[in-house]
Amino acid sequence: MKVIGFNGSPREKGNTEFLVETALEQLRKQGFETELVRLGDKNIDQCSGCYSCVEKKECSINDDFAELFQKMIEADGIILGSPVYHASIPPKLKALLDRAGFLGRWVVNEMKSEDSTYQWKGTAFSGKVVAPITVARRAGQTFAFAQLLLWATVNDTIVVGSNYWNVGVAGTGGKVDADQDTEGIGIITHMADNMGYVLKKLKN
């Protein structure tokens, strides 16, 4: 089984990446294949709202999204790591999730007429195990964390938590110092253990 971890920060080897990698390392100890993806290295435009994916079952925008969407589809577990920018997730992560959520719904469903109601067949992410992680210097955690939770729950996934919210406190003065947040590391490690437990139970 494979878990993919997204570093939604434009900073390579920053606080977000440290916490995502902490989770992935814990999962590797349990025998999972893992992959870290840095969105800062990728070209991901925002959703244009063209609705072509309803018919074509693929996104019409030519950038790195198709590769990332395929990785998400192939993974059993997905970790969504995000810094907090003005109490929100940053643009590239938002663009990825917007497009993945929209396309993921229409690859398994058909658009109906305005006078019809939907009985959704699920999404491309149905049954996948998802865990959000946010990191901030101080405030704004809950809204950004909620954004990731809202994406996971509307896409028919199984959300994994920990013994506290999956958040880290780091970055005072721009520092990369998440390794000093021992409480946060413990929370994320326990979250990874929970994810591994759920994935193995689902596999059996």
Tens of pLDDT along 21-53? 999 999 999 999 999 999 999 999 999 999 999
**Alpha-carbon distance 131 to 180, whole Å?**
22
Distance (Å, whole) CA 165 – CA 46: 28
pLDDT, tens only, 116-163: 888 888 999 999 999 999 999 998 999 999 999 999 999 999 999 999
Whether 44 is in a domain gets the answer yes
Average confidence score pLDDT of the chain: 96
The boundaries of the domain holding residue 125 are 2-110+120-203
User: Residue 39 falls within a domain, yes or no?
Assistant: yes
- Say if 58 falls within a structural domain: yes
**Does residue 115 sit within a domain?**
no
- Say how many CA atoms lie within 13 Å of 106 toward its Cβ: 17
Q: Would residue 184 count as lying in a domain?
A: yes
Provide the CATH number for the domain around residue 69: 3.40.50.360
Domain count of the fold of the chain? 1
Q: Which residue has the tokens 């395929």?
A: 70
